[in-house]
Copies of this chain bind each other. A is one copy, B any other.
Amino acid sequence: MFTVIAERINMTRKRIKKEVWGRNAEFIAGEATRQAEAGATHIDINAGGDPAKEVDDMEWITRVVADAVELPLVFDSSNPEALESGLKLCNRPGTIINSITGEKDRIETILPLVSEYNTGVVCLTMDDTGMPADCDGRMRVTRDLTGALEERGIGLDRAYFDHLVRPASTNPGQARCVLDAIAATRREFPESHICLGLSNISFGLPQRNNLNRAFLAMLVAAGADGAIVDPCEKGLINTLLSSRAALGLDDYCMEYIRAQRAGRL
């Protein structure tokens, strides 16, 4: 089972902000449905259009999306009030909070919600000193974060580590240390989940989809069992199914073959 967190309903995107503020439920429900049909296992909701309206917007989007699809939601905010406003309305099995970092105040304000609502949590491997430049730095933050989770009795099977890739165009070689950190996390904390916000790899390059697909295959091989993506992006779910089939993670390639027969490749 691979976790596909669908990222399109994000108010930092102009079109989404416009339609949420216009209270266009049909449009937002359509975004949720299309992502679910494309292969999402979770729908991410980011209501960060305007801090003053975030709680209201989170509630409205949550109602619309929960009505449109049966998938668990991912509440995406650094504001505990906004997170809780969503969680109170919809807390299906598999719900995830996105995100904490190794930063002390984020841990202290957000982990209580993870405990209270018994959710999963995306853990970004950066901390008060910033984003580590190498694999060792990412693993240091990973260990700090696992410590913080264990201290509060939150099992590592509820953690989704995201090792934060920088754009290949401006940070050549960063992808390598992300892959190394994924492999190291898989070895050291085998029960944890490992996901990655994929599309940053291709920022600033033409036909970004090509790099997203290639890097997704590499992530799966390195040991990631999740990704934060636009599942409607051409070929992305194809790459995911193909990668799992190639690696023997899809028993006798049946998931791949079923998708092919259904015309979904």
List chain A positions with a Cβ less than 8 A from chain B.
168-169, 171-176, 179, 201-202, 205-207, 210-211, 213-215, 217-218, 220-222, 238-239, 241-243, 245-248, 251-253, 256-257, 260, 265
CB distance from A203 to the nearest CB of B (A): 11
Q: For residue A179, which residue of chain B has the nearest CB?
A: B221
**What B residues does A168 contact at CB under 8 A?**
245-248, 253
CB distance from A192 to the nearest CB of B (A): 20
Task: Return A101 CB to nearest CB of chain B, in Å.
Answer: 24
Copies of this chain, count: 2
- Give A211 to B217 CA distance when docked, in angstroms: 10
B215 touches A246 (CB 8 A): yes
Instruction: Give, as a whole number of angstroms, the nearest-CB distance from A158 to chain B.
Output: 27
Whether A248 and B218, one on each chain, are in contact in the complex, defined by CB atoms closer than 8 angstroms, is: no
- Nearest opposing residue in chain B for A244, CB measure: B214
Q: Are A246 and B218 in contact (CB under 8 A)?
A: yes
- A248 in contact with B205 (CB, 8 Å): no
Output the least CB separation between A134 and chain B (Å): 13
Quick one: given A176-B247, A201-B246, are A169 and B253 in contact (CB under 8 Å)?
yes
What residues of B have a CB within 8 angstroms of the CB of A171 in the complex? 248
How far, in angstroms, from A251 to B169 measured CA to CA in the complex? 9
- In the bound complex, residues from chain B placing their C-beta under 8 Å from that of A220 are 214, 218
A67 → chain B closest CB, angstroms: 35
**Can you list 30 pairs linking A and B with CB atoms under 8 Å apart?**
A168-B245, A168-B248, A168-B253, A171-B248, A172-B248, A172-B251, A175-B246, A175-B247, A176-B247, A179-B221, A201-B246, A205-B245, A205-B253, A205-B256, A207-B260, A207-B265, A210-B242, A211-B242, A211-B246, A211-B256, A213-B217, A213-B239, A214-B243, A215-B217, A215-B243, A217-B217, A218-B218, A218-B220, A218-B246, A221-B222
